[in-house]
Amino acid sequence: MSFDPTIRPRDHFTAQQGWLNDPNGLIRHEGEHHLFFQHHPAGLVHGPISWGHAVSPDLLTWTELPIAIAATPIAHIWSGSVVHDAANSSGLAPEGQGPLVALYTRFEPATGIQSQCLAHSVDRGLTWQPYAGNPVLDIGSTGFRDPKVFRHGDGWAMVLVLAEERIVQLYRSPDLISWTHHSSFGPEGFVTGAWECPDLVRVPVEDSADTADVLLVSVWDGGPAGGSGMQYVVGQLDDAGFRSTQDAQWVDRGADFYAAISYADGAGPEPVVQAWMSNWQYADQVPASGFRGSMTLARRLSLRRRDGELVLVQRPVVRAGEQVHALVDHDLTGTLALPVAARTCRIVADVEPGSAPVFGLRVRVGDGERTTLTIDVAARTVSLDRTASGTVDVHPAFAAVHTAPLPGGEGPVRLEVVVDVASVEVFVGDGELVLTDQVFPDPGSTGIEVFADGGTAHVHRLDVTV
């Protein structure tokens, strides 16, 4: 399919055609990042889901490959994960080889039963052989899904949800095939909707040698911007299981960040996660052009100490880009239109609020259109306003302002805004607060403005790269 100038992003993964939801089976393997995904290639809404497949050297340029695990009329391939069984603990590869092993949920449309199945690949994820003894875990439930497998001690562990009960179940296995229940977590934290797509990651604490275990759980409804959202729980995984040491928080305060899981075998100590950039509230109603849905940028996770608590910090994986504009030591009063036109760009700014109680940025500015990021220093809030962002009659809840507390103390505010054709991802306070929203502006809305209202803000530096 040809490039669609209206809604096909540059750096965010989209399927060539058809519907896409959750990322699955994320793994870095032999120099490539594999992104499998919930895919209905023949439709623009959720349906008989297969695992699509794409690879990337850098998490920004993607090559889509053939369907990895295909749906059949009696078995849809729902979310799950992939690990590299380097020691061939499963015995599924020929002697001396280590297969990639996928654990996914098989959804049977006739009964609604959700059971956990296994497939393996010995050709770097290109083709997959279902395990003859599938399912490997079946409790006869219609709400038991989304296995995320990781190494644990000298064996394997897996988290998955009892969705309606809002419980994460931890299972263990020596060989990825026989699974034994170990412990449970929940209901706890945000329980406003069914739980989905759990992950348990070890995250480094900034400026220290400490780490904490962080449980990620997606919540179907009651999210911070309405509809679905994602929570994280800082805690500890030990022999007794996972327990929280802090209250749950939302991962992202925008409307469009869901079902994120981490890459297995990541390069560094910081887990890298990627999410589906949509919301079940309106996912099947957003503009489509032969394809519908995209992933967010990948993000590196760390934790930052704030008032005795650990706060999740997210930094996007971005391309180096070409600098097209800079402001240095600029006193800003009122609105300044930058001499830049971009549908895809990255803006990084350090702004000293000064005497201005309110400052911010507008992107994708055009005839009556804009998406506005406002830092209200007096109210100590950050808001992302997509009410005039372009096509907003997607769903009654779409045209909204998403607001969250401004992180950090007095002093300069670091903003990073990534715009990519049909989305805006905002990172405030060096990754401490994130808002992700889809937007559907006119292709001609390419302006960028910075503004300070009611006083003067001092822009230490602002860089625009494309």
Complex with ligand FRU: residue 105 or 436, whichever CB lies closer: 105
Per-residue mark of binding to ligand FRU, 42-81 (x: CB under 6 A)? -------x----------------------------xx--
Asked whether position 259 contacts ligand FRU by CB under 6 A, the answer is: yes
If one asks whether residue 166 binds ligand FRU (CB under 6 A), the answer comes out as no
In this structure, the strands spanning 258-262 and 272-276 are antiparallel
Q: Which of 105, 274, 294, 438 binds ligand FRU (CB under 6 A)?
A: 105
Binding residue (CB under 6 A) for ligand FRU from 11, 146, 369, 416: 146
Of 166, 34, 51, which is closest to residue 103 (Cα–Cα)?
51
Q: If you write DSSP's letter for every residue of 331-366 in order, what string do you get?
A: EEEEEEE-S---SEEEEEEEEE-TT-SEEEEEEEEE
Known catalytic membership, residue 22: yes
> Of 105 and 173, which CB lies nearer to ligand FRU in the complex structure?
105
Instruction: Give ∠ CA 422-426-432 in degrees, rounded to 5.
Output: 150
Which of the residues 184 through 213 are near ligand FRU (CB under 6 A)? 196-197
Side-chain-side CA neighbours of 172 within 13 Å: the count stands at 12
Instruction: Please identify, using beta-carbon distances, which residue of 37 and 451 lies nearer to ligand FRU.
Output: 37
Least Å distance between CB 146 and ligand FRU?
A: 5
> Among residues 193 and 441, whose Cβ is nearest to ligand FRU?
193
Number of residues counted as binding ligand FRU (CB under 6 A): 12
Could you give the CA distance from residue 422 to residue 7 in angstroms, rounded to a whole number?
Answer: 5
Rounded to the nearest 5 percent, the helix, strand and coil shares of the chain are: 0, 55, 45
- The smaller minimum CB distance to ligand FRU, of residues 173 and 281, is found at 281
Q: Residue for token digits 């800079």? A: 326
Residue of 260, 308, 267 whose CA lies nearest to 29: 267
Q: Give the other-Cβ count within 10 Å of 291's Cβ.
A: 19
Q: What CA–CA distance (Å, rounded) separates 48 from 65?
A: 19
Instruction: State the DSSP code for 278.
Output: -
Distance CA 341, CA 304 (A): 35
Tell me which of 12, 145, 182, 253 binds ligand FRU, using CB under 6 A: 145
Nearer to ligand FRU, 146 or 416 (CB): 146
The dihedral over CA atoms of 158, 159, 161, 165, expressed in degrees to the nearest 10, equals: 120
- CB of 23 vs ligand FRU, minimal distance in Å: 10
Burial class (CB in 10 A: 0-12, 13-18, 19+), 284: middle
Q: Which of residues 1-30 bind ligand FRU (CB under 6 A)?
A: 21-22
- Alpha carbons 354 and 373: distance in angstroms, whole number: 18
Least distance (Å) from ligand FRU to the CB of residue 89? Answer: 25
Selected catalytic residue, list 22, 146, 252, 256: 22
Least distance CB 47 / ligand FRU (angstroms): 9
* Cβ 463 to ligand FRU shortest distance, Å: 35
| Residue 105 beta carbon to ligand FRU: minimum distance, rounded to whole angstroms | 5
Residues that bind ligand FRU (CB under 6 A): 21-22, 38, 49, 78-79, 105, 145-146, 196-197, 259
- The catalytic residues are 22
